[in-house]
Amino acid sequence: MSRYAYVNGQYLPLSVAGVHVEDRGYQFADGVYEVVAVANGHAIDEEAHLARLDYSLKEMSLAWPVSKAALKHILKRMVALNRLTNGLLYLQITRGVSRRDHGFPKPGVPPALVVTAKNMKPVSPELLEKGVAVVTMPDLRWKRCDIKSVSLLPNILAKQAAKDMGAYEAWLLDDKGYVTEGSSTNAWIVTDKGEIVTRPLGAPILAGVTRRAILALAKEAGLKPVERPFKPAEALKAKEAFLTSATSWALPITRIDGKPVGDGKPGPMTLRLRALYAQAVEKGL
């Protein structure tokens, strides 16, 4: 089946879709993005993703390329064109096409909008049965990770380093040794007191949409969500650890730097939270 992309007002076959060589996203990584999961043909938590997009745009002094209503229509059309049942929508907004110069272009240059779509297989049952491994490394990213910028080189290097070490993800550590987040996920632990711990929001981490949903679901279920920093040493003493993202939902972590977490098996709290999230998705989160 042919895949289609949306590029600055046109729906094009992916094989011919392209942007100008002087698009500032290509030249400077001067842009922001969102990744929206699709389940049963519907975007998951679309309003939260668009709210985060609005935040990123404002922090980057970037204008919306189209209205929010128009963007929602584009996303819906992309789901239909690509016959997407379960998958991902990727949308990227850059400062547009302009002669290469570090300063912002003169007024009048419109932002550029690209949307692509792809099918996504469910998380492997093996990952849920055995859990995944993470490795820790210094967080070398810029100091505004709360902005979902397309400038992801440090994240890519961390993810590849983890892969080279046989791990699923990298946990990034700040200058004081606290876990900020993963290279593409948020980080969590479950303490022996039943606290579900994740780092509080701020410039060092992205406000994960799935993170937000898991916190809300845990609170609604009468559990103990807590937002505070933690170090790898505490994680290794915890009963459970897990990660969250739009693509992974809640995924158990059973090894950190080669050492087991808890009994080395996916924990009941992680699996419960994943089940609560799956139920919310079915209800139209």
Strands (E), the chain: 4-7, 10-13, 31-39, 42-43, 87-94, 112-119, 132-138, 169-173, 179-182, 186-190, 195-198, 224-227, 240-245, 249-256, 259-260
The Cα 197–Cα 179 span in angstroms is 11
How many angstroms separate the Cα of 201 from the Cα of each of 75, 78, 205? 28, 31, 6
The Cα 24–Cα 95 span in angstroms is 6
Catalytic residue among 148, 231, 259, 265: 148
Give 235's DSSP letter: H
The Cα 219–Cα 179 span in angstroms is 23
148 catalytic? Reply is yes
CB–CB of 199/224 below 8 Å? Answer: no
The Cα 241–Cα 262 span in angstroms is 8
Nearest to 103 by CA among 26, 28, 157: 28
Which residues are marked as active site? 148
